[in-house]
Amino acid sequence: MAKDQKKLEYVLRIADNALILGQRLSEWCGHGPVLEEDIALSNISLDYFGQASHLLKYAAEIEEAGNDEDHLAFHRDDTEFRNLLMVELPNGDYAFTIARQFFFSVWYQLFLEGLLKSQDEFLRGFAEKSLKEVKYHVQHASDWVIRMGDGTEESRRRIIQAFADLADFIPECFTTDELDLYAIQHGWGPDASHLKESWQKNVAAVCTEAGLEMPAEGWGQRGGKIGKHTEYLGFILAEMQYLQRAHPGAKW
Amino acid sequence: MKGKDRPGEEEVLQWLSEVSDPEIPALNVVEMGIVRNVKWNGDVVEVTITPTYSGCPAMRTIEEDIGEVLREKFLDKYTVITSLSPAWTTDWMTDDAREKLVKEGIAPPQKGSADKGLLMGKLRDVKCPRCGSFDTMMVSQFGSTACKSLYKCNQCLEPFDYFKCI
């Protein structure tokens, strides 16, 4: 147990979203529908990895167990990950990947804006840096949602399906449990439940332009924030962690 | 190194301008605004650097290259600190650096921090570094490196990189 276990868990929640979604997006590298999108998703993935690396380094300092960021990325088991379930879902088709980018990055931007007021100096600096990148991600995903919604019959059918498939995974973004409340009380970060209104407003603006309905209010699949994951996370980790598990500490 | 033997902070900064940006070798890390500060802390020289983008893969190489330059000058006691705040902005690039970019065929970032127009969905007028025309279009917000967008010139029909504002 770290001296400040709560802070450690809180930082991991932010870091693991970036790490796992970065890993997911990297799967598109070499498989994108067009070269520009291949490059775009790889770049966004790189932004996430950078963010995860800075946060995990900070988490390792809080943990005081002599670990570094690589150890936290490559030597934790699935139940020790704290990401939202949404980010670990398989990429699906391009519409699904884009819909998830859209829902997640709109939420992430609002979360980071809240984090700008954190009492924690590191988290404040992290938010300031990352926001600049995430704004570009939001713009990229929004453009594509509009293009697909207002595109061909096929693209429209697919983006509508993606919205439906993701609906159950949206509510988890706005949940606050005991740890979140502790974090809010200590001024570490924003109250996620308060982000919902702005999120709906921002999503609705793009949906209107795309001629799409808002995603339905799903019943809310949850558990990622406390380490209860879907069956997909283990497979991500198997691929992501393989080399460091087989050859611990390998460097090149 | 102590007292009057040791080089001043300005001098060290001057040495560091030998370190080039691995992704844009025509530019050095000082004019890019990546090196933020050089300070003596006792007999240790502390160099503070900041990443252009969180995931910039060049950071580790830059750190090593800085170490190499310092060791060549017999400064063995040094630390390179990475700081995220204040966050790097394209406004920190010097005018010299902007001119060098154009010579490399890269359209420099426009001044005035973040591309607010772009983020609001409006495109800025970006000048083609090859023929100077403003009749250009963005092909993709994401280009060959994290810090660049891909553009095309409608006049000379050549593609080019635009260093995007953050």
A81 vs A249: CA distance, rounded Å: 20
In a domain, A154, yes or no: yes
B113: nearest CA partner in chain A = A132
Q: Return phi, psi of residue B106, to 5°.
A: -115, 125
Tokens of A7: 């802070």
Place of tokens 């635009």: B162
The answer to whether B115 and B126 have CB atoms below 8 angstroms apart is: no
**pLDDT for position B166:** 83
Decide if B166 touches A, using CB distance below 8 A. Answer: yes
Interchain proximity B53–A133, CB inside 8 Å: yes
B56: nearest CA partner in chain A = A50
The last residue of one of the domains, among B52, B82, B112, is B82
Provide the percentage of residues in chain B whose pLDDT is more than 70.
Answer: 89
CATH classification of the domain holding B47: 3.30.300.130
Tokens of B161: 């990189």
Interchain proximity B141–A130, CB inside 8 Å: no
The residue of A51, A58, A129 whose CB has the most chain B CBs within 10 angstroms, and thus the best one to mutate to test that interface, is: A129
Q: Mind listing the pLDDT tens digit of every residue in chain A (252 residues)?
A: 777 999 999 999 999 999 999 999 999 999 999 999 999 999 999 999 999 999 999 999 999 999 999 999 999 999 999 999 999 999 999 999 999 999 999 999 999 999 999 999 999 999 999 999 999 999 999 999 999 999 999 999 999 999 999 999 999 999 999 999 999 999 999 999 999 999 999 999 999 999 999 999 888 999 999 999 999 999 999 999 999 999 998 887
Decide if B122 touches A, using CB distance below 8 A. Answer: no
Number of domain units in chain A: 1
Decide if A71 touches B, using CB distance below 8 A. Answer: no
Which residues lie closer than 8 Å to B71 by C-beta, 6 or more apart?
A: none
Q: Residue B114 burial by CB count (10 A; 0-12/13-18/19+): exposed, middle or buried?
A: middle
The last residue of one of the domains, among B29, B49, B82, is B82
Tokens of A149: 């919604």
Q: Please work out, in degrees rounded to the nearest 5, the angle formed at the alpha carbon of residue B85 by the alpha carbons of B79 and B91.
A: 105
* Residues of chain A contacting residue B87, judged by C-beta atoms under 8 Å apart: 125, 128-129, 132
- Helix or strand run (H / E) with residue A81: none
Q: Which residues pair with B40 in a beta bridge?
A: B45
Residue B129: DSSP 8-state: T
Number of domain units in chain B: 2
Decide if A32 touches B, using CB distance below 8 A. Answer: no
Residue A215: DSSP 8-state: P
Complex ipTM over 0.90 = no
B5 vs A95: CA distance, rounded Å: 63
B81: closest CA of chain A, how far (Å)? 13
Is the domain of B75 the same as that of B103? no
Tokens of A87: 């980010």
Q: What is the pLDDT of residues B94-146, one digit of tens each?
A: 898 999 999 989 999 877 655 555 555 555 688 999 998 999 998 888 988 88
Residue B126 domain boundaries: 90-163
The last residue of one of the domains, among B82, B101, B122, is B82
